[in-house]
Structure 1
Amino acid sequence: MIARLLKTTALGQAAVAGALLTTIASGTPAEAGRAAVTPRQLQQALDRLVIRPDGPPGAIVVVRRGGKRQVFTAGTATVCAVRGGLPCRTYRRPRAGDAMRIASVSKTFSGAAALALVTDGALSLDDTIGTVLPDLPAGWHPVTLRNLLNHTSGLPDFAKSPNFGPTISASPHRAPPPRVLLSFVEDQRLAFAPGTAYAYSNSDNIVVGLMVEKAAGKPYAKVLKQRVYRPLKLKRTELKNRAAMPRPYMHGYSIEDDGSYDDVSTDIAFGGYAWASGGIVASPSDLSKYVGAYVGGDLFGKQARKAQFRFRGGDTSSPPGPGRNAAGLALFRYKTRCGSVYGHTGSILGYTQLIAASRDGRRSVTFSINTQAAASLIPALRRSQVKAVCLALGK
């Protein structure tokens, strides 16, 4: 599987980056139509999604409206397989408690940790790489924490380095330390002067994680436990450098050329290879709790939240979320026909994710499928996501 993955360019990036942490390019047209969305219409949209040739084996959506939670599922969390002539194992629907890889939704967790430390005074949004992490390349020193959180840093993306794929191939189940990931691009200059342009880079959040460690004086994973998991009582959320998944979990699949599914859930230790940029494992239930608190401002102070909600229009999350996208600090605004929600998307081998909530955090959506969406699936996926958003907003 790893060898085949390293050769493919089908998802649009060179070497392994395309299948691991890729940005899937797509336009962001305004969504048409004004009719209110019903639960039945959302369920029908999910049912249509999983029967597409390029569709996922399964999908699960959690919609929250105040204290009311609705869970919608379609397809299966585990593809039935015949082995050794034995009967197929039983299909089962995805469950809200299933663990799954949340990909770049992990960037909101590094944002939450960093903004909590900003609120404490341990960090400032104007702190630079040079003042906090002087061992990183001198050419990167002017980049601020603010630049990192809204992808205006100009840092080269380690996931696009030609050295990244061979490193995974040599040790897929045990990743090197985060500093080594950055070493793949440490000889490269900034793509532009910090703050002058937008470019989504997975290196940004690796540096954010290292800044959090330096400011807190403890490992990043421990900071997440103390500042995010425990306050919100997230029981199925973790960041560990291993390929294994905590059971039970929603299996992640790649779609082969013949239409069959290949289980890629435990092929790569993404907790290390994506780390603060995309390595977290969580359940839909935990994400539903988390997104309301994160967007609603429960994890850090008002001044940090005010800075977070300054958006740059025309910038796109990876993959693009529903409606028109705009980038804030570790947060995107998704302006749909039913109103605006705020959150993040994620795309990684085996999974595609969306979390989003109203500004007060009381209405939210988590939308998960168990394959990395191909470019051909993105328009249909976004239409289904809009239906979920409209249902959450009651429009």
Structure 2
Amino acid sequence: MLAVPASTGTAYGVAPAPGPPLSASSSSETDFPELGPAVARRLDTAIQQVLRETKVPGVIVSLSAPGKGSYVRTFGVADKATGAPMETDLYMRIGSTTKTFTVTALLELVDEGKVGLDDPIAKYIDNVPNGDRITLRDLADMRSGLFNYTMDEGFFKALTSDPQRPFTPQELLDYSFKHPVQFQPGEKFDYSNTNLILLGLVVEKAGGMPLNEFIEQRVLKPARLSHTVFPTGAEFPSPHAQGYTDQTASGKVENSTNWNPSWGWAAGAMISDLRDLRSWARTLATGTLLSPETQAQRLKTLPTTIPGAGYGLGIFDVQGWIGHNGSLPGYEALTLYLPESQATLVVLLNTDILHGQTEPSTLFGQAITRIVTPEHVFNLPVTAPRATPRPSPQPSPQR
């Protein structure tokens, strides 16, 4: 493989952002900076520094706000073997950002009266531990107490010994259900991918079709996301970046581009690109696919174990930035929206290898927001959600 350059510095200009101008009374009119050449240079420098320090192969960044302009850049390489540069039109695996789509599908069914957030999961799925007490709301806001199947060592061994193998939702649940419940529902926040597998099954049952079809028809099409897909196997639209991970049986870095993401399913299997995620960040945070009442419930975040972060119904609020991060072997993503300035931030990268004990996506998010929104610095420590399985001596919810 070729050595990864610090940055290819591919630039895509500073152009006016779409959307209506902010009102003069908005505090963001003065708080959020113009994304002109001076700010762009600062962002370039900060992102390049993170790229060098983390040794991330490549990253795609988009930042925009109405009336403030748009910053879109790529740095580094999409393929370490060929040296092909990152480009803005590449498809990327988005990991736990998938949760935002699955929960949106669920909430659409809530709006239709087909499911209730306070229904017990036992109403829809049999043999769930504590299923008569755990509600759909508990699952969506990560307070179910169910063991995270991606923390199971047997699961990790099964995935890494054959990364191309398919997993069924029931197989994933079996890895979780052999463990005792961690606590009673509602007692505390504990990020568990198991919750989303169950919600995916609820969407299938109440929606009357496979989850990937429901999300395509009821979420992606209405949101006009033509470059977002829910794969049923290892298929990966082109063009896409190569992904690199150390979450392997040997612990060595491997190319994970064609690993089958079925093990993430409703929690982390989806694929998207920069353009779609820019649009989705706003749709998700403003609730245009949902009733105002349901969106208000979604955004009612509860405290988490992560300082400065709350979690709602399949959505984070991190220092005011609303959205989700995502990680699975070889890829990471941030899809965020800051309501007070109507700012959108998307970061996509082609590795999930931690820098020390920190997600590389978090480091990019920190570096960018320290410049443009110093009062709202995005930060998720290592305990932030990942749809990735590597066991840890100190259990954390993401792995």
Give the alignment's TM-score, normalised by structure 2.
Answer: 0.77
Relative distance call for 1:379 and 1:233 in structure 2 (3 A) is closer
Note the C-alpha offset of 1:154: 0.3
Relative distance call for 1:314 and 1:197 in structure 2 (3 A) is closer
Partner of 2:302: 312
Distance 2:341 2:102 in 1: 19
2:112 counterpart (106, 111, 120): 120
- The 8 Å contact of residues 55 and 377 in structure 1, kept in 2 or not, is answered as no
Where do residues 204-353 of structure 1 align in structure 2 (5 Å cutoff)? 204-254=195-245, 262-266=254-258, 268-270=259-261, 272-316=262-306, 324-335=308-319, 340-353=320-333
* More contact order relative to length (CA 8 Å, sep ≥ 6): 1
Partner of 1:95: 87
Distance 1:169 1:308 in 2: 35
Note the C-alpha offset of 1:204: 0.7
Distance 2:196 2:55 in 1: 29
- The 8 Å contact of residues 107 and 276 in structure 1, kept in 2 or not, is answered as yes
1:154-202 per-residue CA deviation (whole Å, 9 max, x = no partner) reads 0111112232134325643231321221012223332111001111111
Partner of 1:358: 338
Partner of 2:78: 77
1:115-168 per-residue CA deviation (whole Å, 9 max, x = no partner) reads 1111111111101111121x2335333111111111000011111223213432
Q: Which moved more, 1:368-377 or 1:218-227?
A: 368-377
1:306-325 per-residue CA deviation (whole Å, 9 max, x = no partner) reads 11111223433xxxxxx821
Q: Which moved more, 1:92-101 or 1:291-300?
A: 92-101
Q: Helix, strand or coil for the counterpart of 1:43? A: helix
Distance 2:305 2:57 in 1: 30
Partner of 2:172: 181
CA RMSD of aligned residues (A): 2.7
* Letter in structure 2 aligned against 1:355: T
Q: Helix, strand or coil for the counterpart of 1:62? A: strand
* Letter in structure 1 aligned against 2:309: N
Partner of 1:22: none
Note the C-alpha offset of 1:97: 1.8
Relative distance call for 1:35 and 1:232 in structure 2 (3 A) is closer
Distance 1:99 1:35 in 2: 29
Distance 2:148 2:359 in 1: 26
Partner of 1:64: 64
Q: Which moved more, 1:100-109 or 1:354-363?
A: 354-363
Is it true that 1:164 corresponds to 2:155 in the alignment? Answer: yes
Relative distance call for 1:194 and 1:394 in structure 2 (3 A) is closer
Where do residues 140-159 of structure 1 align in structure 2 (5 Å cutoff)? 140-159=131-150
- The 8 Å contact of residues 94 and 269 in structure 2, kept in 1 or not, is answered as yes
* Letter in structure 1 aligned against 2:127: L
* Letter in structure 2 aligned against 1:297: G
Distance 2:312 2:165 in 1: 33
Q: Which moved more, 1:295-304 or 1:66-75?
A: 66-75
- The 8 Å contact of residues 243 and 330 in structure 2, kept in 1 or not, is answered as yes
- The 8 Å contact of residues 56 and 369 in structure 1, kept in 2 or not, is answered as yes
Relative distance call for 1:187 and 1:327 in structure 2 (3 A) is same
Distance 1:164 1:205 in 2: 17
* Letter in structure 2 aligned against 1:176: F
Relative distance call for 1:208 and 1:35 in structure 2 (3 A) is closer
Q: Which moved more, 1:289-298 or 1:355-364?
A: 355-364
Q: How many pairs were matched up?
A: 337
Distance 1:220 1:314 in 2: 28
What runs of 5+ residues in structure 2 fail to find an aligned partner?
1-30, 376-399
Relative distance call for 1:256 and 1:394 in structure 2 (3 A) is closer
- The 8 Å contact of residues 66 and 343 in structure 2, kept in 1 or not, is answered as yes
Q: Helix, strand or coil for the counterpart of 1:231? A: coil
Distance 1:154 1:297 in 2: 28
Is it true that 1:55 corresponds to 2:47 in the alignment? Answer: no
* Letter in structure 2 aligned against 1:205: L
Note the C-alpha offset of 1:377: 6.5
- The 8 Å contact of residues 96 and 284 in structure 1, kept in 2 or not, is answered as yes
Q: Helix, strand or coil for the counterpart of 2:239? A: coil
Note the C-alpha offset of 1:261: 5.9
Partner of 1:31: none
Distance 1:165 1:303 in 2: 40
Partner of 2:387: none
Relative distance call for 1:57 and 1:114 in structure 2 (3 A) is same
Q: Helix, strand or coil for the counterpart of 1:163? A: helix
Distance 2:103 2:368 in 1: 25
Distance 2:112 2:247 in 1: 49
Distance 2:175 2:212 in 1: 23
Q: Helix, strand or coil for the counterpart of 2:221? A: helix
Partner of 1:39: 40
Note the C-alpha offset of 1:66: 2.7
